[in-house]
Amino acid sequence: MDLKNKEQKYIINTYNRQPDATLFIKRGEGVYVWDEAGNRFLDFVSGLAVNNLGHCHPTVVEAVKRQTEKLMHTSNLYYTEPQIRLAEQLVAQSCADKVFFCNSGAEANEAAIKLARKFGKATRGCGAHEIITAQRSFHGRTLAAITATAQPKYHQGFEPMVAGFHYAEYNNLDSFAALVNENTCAILVEPIQGEGGVYPAQPEFLQGLRKLCDEHGLLLIFDEVQSGIGRTGKLLAYENYGVEPDVYTLAKGLGGGLPIGVMAARGAAADTLVPGDHASTFGGNPVVCAAAGAVLQVLGEDGFLEHVQKVGQYFMDRLQELTYANKVELRGLGLFIGLEISGDGAKVASDCQKEGLLLNCIGGKTLRFLPPLIVEEEHIDAAVNVLQRVLARLD
């Protein structure tokens, strides 16, 4: 039995991998991955915004090697240097005062939800536990995070959902304001909705949410799991808007390919959780924190984020030039880009893979592009040329 058949036999089918169609990736380097037959693919999925520095970035690899030779894990009962160093880096480069480490974006959002409920009860009264999120959002797969995710398709079969979540229209401040009441403790939004279709927030929307939260004593929480770590050309997407949250969450790109999550908070929110309130066995593991520290080191090098802004605009311009009758809308910021089409997006993604380009289709109609931040114009040209050929066949 080959490995693909063993996968079907031994792994619960939550990813719908198909032996005849799903790529079997053997190795990766920079912006490319290779399958078991040695075929090379330009990777514009990047592990869904995880491989922000490309595959096996040498600085990250070296940091991991060094740490694995010293200490791979110990309990959070004890101090470790990589964890403290990484926390210091994150605080120094953001609005946060303190951070909590976990293993994923869903866990980070779960921690933020718990923090918000405790903060609300302490500052607004014991009934203040409700959180307003945005329609079309995505915040993870744990039960509270999926409840915060305002997409009914992800709730089906798992009801009843967690109580205390209300959903407003993204980029519609009045819709959020109308849901605020004495039981509200926080507003949770993505600065750019990713899974929902790559919809950037309008500046006046985030600015209005900041004002609304300040007026009512609510926490403003930004889910930066996908938009953070340089993806938009800033270390954190909120920097593009001039609006600072009380709490933000990170994961994906921070670990350079290793699993890590962060819930960061500032001001009184940062002191809300106390010993015994929350914990993680693997959160802040010394190896992943060493990797994350290396990622932040590279992102902080002169010109790196400016490069993301430059090639992001170049990519947007090239996609805008596409001649395709079924093009609906191009959206995005930096290297976080979505192209909505009226045709079969899944077929476009499949056909691009056959021509050596990996991209992602969400919602059946939106092509999501998340190339490594080290991508160059020549890679973008190659990707757009493949896409143009595939789209031309569908016209």
Given a contact cutoff of 8 angstroms between Cβ atoms, the answer to whether 345 and 280 are in contact is no
User: Is beta strand 360-362 parallel, antiparallel or unpaired with respect to 165-168?
Assistant: unpaired
Measure the CA dihedral 105/110/111/116, to 10°. 130
Distance CA 116, CA 287 (A): 29
| pLDDT band for position 126 (cuts 50, 70, 90) | confident
Checking if the pLDDT of 370 tops 90, the result is yes
| DSSP code of residue 30 | B
**325, pLDDT greater than 80:** no
Annotated binding site for pyridoxal 5'-phosphate: 105-106, 138, 223-226, 281
Left if phi > 0, otherwise alpha if psi is -120 to 50, otherwise beta: which for 284?
left
Domain identity same for 78 and 151 = yes
Q: Is-contact 228 254, C-beta < 8 A?
A: yes
Same domain, 191 and 316: no
Same domain, 200 and 74: yes
Domain that holds residue 339: 1-57+303-392
Q: Tell me the mean pLDDT in the region 135-148.
A: 98
pTM of the full structure: 0.97
In this structure, the answer to whether residues 152 and 44 fall within a common structural domain is no
How do beta strands 366-369 and 130-134 pair? unpaired
Percentage with pLDDT > 70 across the chain: 100
CATH number of residue 333's parent domain: 3.90.1150.10
160 and 201 assigned to the same domain: yes
Provide the total of helices (H) and of strands (E) in the chain, helices listed first.
Answer: 12, 17
Q: Same domain, yes or no, for 10 and 154?
A: no
**Binding annotation:** 105-106, 138, 141, 223-226, 280-281
Tell me the per-residue pLDDT of 236-278, one tens digit each, with 9 for 90 and over: 999 999 999 999 999 999 999 999 999 999 999 999 999 999 9
d(C-alpha 85, C-alpha 311), whole Å: 31
Is the pLDDT assigned to residue 209 strictly greater than 90?
yes
Q: Are residues 224 and 334 in the same domain?
A: no
Q: How confident is the model at residue 322 (pLDDT cuts 50, 70, 90)?
A: confident
Same-domain pairing of 143 and 195: yes
* pLDDT of 85 higher than 80: yes
DSSP 375: -
Q: Is the pLDDT of residue 160 over 80?
A: yes
Q: In the listed set 285, 300, 315, which residue is the last one of a domain according to the structure?
A: 300
What average pLDDT score do residues 184-203 get?
Answer: 98
Write the DSSP assignment of 191-256 as a string of letters. Answer: SEETTTT-EEPPHHHHHHHHHHHHHHTPEEEEE-TTTTTTTTSSSSGGGGTT---SEEEE-GGGGB
Residue 363 pLDDT greater than 90, yes or no? yes
Among residues 300, 333, 356, the one where a domain terminates is 300
Same domain, yes or no: 75 and 178:
yes
Cα separation, 202 vs 155, whole angstroms:
27
Tokens 């922000």 sit at which residue?
52
Q: Annotated binding residues for N(2)-acetyl-L-ornithine, as ranges?
A: 141, 280
Q: At residue 1, does pLDDT exceed 80?
A: no
The answer, yes or no, to whether residue 130 has pLDDT greater than 80, is: yes
Total number of domains in the chain: 2
Q: Is 328 a residue whose pLDDT tops 80? A: yes
Q: Checking phi first, is residue 233 left (phi over 0); if not, alpha (psi -120 to 50) or beta?
A: left
**Residue 56: per-residue pLDDT:** 98
Say whether pLDDT at 327 is over 90.
no
Q: Supply the residues annotated as catalytic.
A: 138, 223, 252
- Residue 92 confidence (pLDDT) above 90: yes
Does residue 83 sit in the same domain as residue 128? Answer: yes
Based on the fold, state whether residues 319 and 178 are members of the same structural domain. Answer: no
Give me 139's structure tokens.
Answer: 């915040």
What pLDDT, on a 0 to 100 scale, did the predictor assign at position 134? 98
- Give me the pLDDT at residue 393, please: 87
pLDDT for the residue 140: 97
- Mean pLDDT value across residues 152-181: 97
**pLDDT band at residue 199 under the 50/70/90 scheme:** very high
Of all residues in the chain, what percent carry a pLDDT higher than 90? 95
CA distance 168 to 166: 7
The pLDDT value given to residue 287: 98
Average model confidence (pLDDT) across the chain: 97
Indicate which CATH number applies to the domain containing 184. 3.40.640.10
Rounded-to-integer distance, Cα 77 and Cα 60, Å = 26
Q: Report residue 324's pLDDT band, with 50, 70 and 90 as the boundaries.
A: confident
64 and 127 part of one domain: yes
Final residue of a structural domain among 300, 322, 339: 300
